[in-house]
Amino acid sequence: MSLAVFFALVGFVPANWLVRVPDVKAQVGASAGDLGLALLCGSLGSLAALTVAARLCERFGTRRVLVIAGFALCAILVLPGLAGSVRALGAALAFFGMAQSTFNIALNSTAVEIATASGNPLMPTLHGIFSVGGLVGAALGGLLADHLSPVVHLGLTALLGLVVTGLAGPSLLRSGRATARTAAAGTSAAGNAGAEGAAEADRANAWRRVRWIVLAFGLVAACTAFGEYASNNWAALHLRQDLGATAAVAGYGYATYACAIAGGRFLGSRLIRRLGETAVLSGGFALAAVGVLVASWAGHLPGGGLPVAFAGYVVLGLGLANVYPVCISRAGALGGPRGVSRISMSASVGILSQGPLIGFVADRRGLPLALSTVAVLAVLAAGVAFALRGWTRPRTPTTSAESTTSAESNERSKP
């Protein structure tokens, strides 16, 4: 339960900042270019923290880092609302990006540990909760934006986040301390004075054995991040520019796509148990390729138009929904926090590359062709995912009810 709360929190908190970007831009007197540079500071801060976050998790434990980073993320949220200049905003976003990356690495690493112990594919459901948290944060933030200044709005959100972290954190910390005591007892029984150094050497050797496999999962994650953020950033523009939608209808189009991703993630655990992770990855990319082509070229299809484009975005969302959760789960199981951080780095490459590439192609060939690059990468990623079939979780013969009962039993047995 506590872990689910933290997944909702990491969707909810940043969403409240994102809806206040226009207001903070006006507050600091930034041009579009200035705002872009300030946002870039946030991305660079996020990237800079990824490797450090993995080391911190290995050194101090994922749960401890998770709770501390949760407090930091919520406290730092208020800083953009206090910014009085572009430089101050850039610095605030850099710190916010560092806290968010550290929180994400610790959160996903903790989720991998719990999912591995329970034997249940929990990650898709947890990422579905993250998606819902983001939708709720964006909706609530939009309502508050008309009535509160950025600093008051972000301050209240930060206060709520701090309270939630304070309430949900202790149970995770208790389970982490119990795990640490068990490990310490084992080390004491072995009587090995150099146990810590040996453990570090073991981790390094294990990482060298699997790093290329993790890199391959990273390629898959980069492709899905490219597809997700291409739709996040360009779907509304495509619907308005190429299909003549109003601003409100274009917004509904994006909301439909976002809801499809959230809904697909809540179905993900059941699909993995029934079909296996390879089928979910490769089949998901095949669906995504069809969906993005239908959505991108809806205006050119016989009988096409906005309803066809909406249907295409639903198929795209359902196809991409469970790819990133599976990739980060596999990488975490293979490489621990280090594996999780590498997947996050790879996803960042996909996120950062989609804007310039799609913009470049759209200027020369139009948005439909530019968005079709998502389909090309989806086909590539489907092939890579199939090649990784020996490293993914196979389908399980247990029924959904049996798996759920087993997971609940394991969870109750934890201290």
Structure tokens of 306? 């906005």
More confident position, 336 or 395: 336
Q: Give the pLDDT mean for 7-13.
A: 93
Q: Give the pLDDT mean for 66-92.
A: 94
> How far apart are the C-alpha atoms of 135 and 137, rounded to whole Å?
5
Q: Tell me, what's the pLDDT at 196?
A: 52
| Nearest CA among 4, 28, 57 for reference residue 335 | 57
Q: Tell me, what's the pLDDT at 399?
A: 41
What's the Cα-to-Cα distance from 259 to each of 30, 68, 236, rounded to whole Å? 33, 31, 15
Q: Give the pLDDT mean for 304-327.
A: 93
Q: Give the pLDDT mean for 120-124.
A: 88
Q: Give the pLDDT mean for 93-98.
A: 94
- Give the number of other Cβ atoms within 10 Å of residue 247's Cβ: 10
What DSSP string runs through 333-374? HHHHHHHHHHHHHHHHHHHHHHHHHHHHHHHHH-HHHHHTHH
**pLDDT tier at 404 (50, 70, 90 boundaries)?**
very low
Q: Tell me, what's the pLDDT at 296?
A: 93
Q: What is the 3-state secondary structure (H, E, C) of 297-331?
A: CHHHCCCCCHHHHHHHHHHHHHHHCCHHHHHHHHH
Q: Tell me, what's the pLDDT at 261?
A: 92
Tens-digit pLDDT profile for residues 200-231: 666 667 778 888 999 999 999 999 999 998 88
C-alpha torsion angle, residues 273, 274, 280, 286 (rounded to 10): -170
The count of residues in the chain is 415
Tens-digit pLDDT profile for residues 155-183: 999 999 999 999 988 887 876 565 555 44
Q: Tell me, what's the pLDDT at 135?
A: 87
With pLDDT > 70 as the criterion, what percentage of the chain qualifies?
88
pLDDT exceeds cutoff 60 at 363: yes
pLDDT exceeds cutoff 60 at 114: yes
Tens-digit pLDDT profile for residues 29-62: 988 778 878 888 888 898 889 889 999 998 888 9
pLDDT exceeds cutoff 80 at 139: yes
| Nearest CA among 37, 330, 280, 25 for reference residue 150 | 25
> How far apart are the C-alpha atoms of 192 and 195, rounded to whole Å?
5
Q: Tell me, what's the pLDDT at 2?
A: 84
- Across the chain, mean pLDDT equals 85
C-alpha torsion angle, residues 134, 336, 329, 213 (rounded to 10): 130
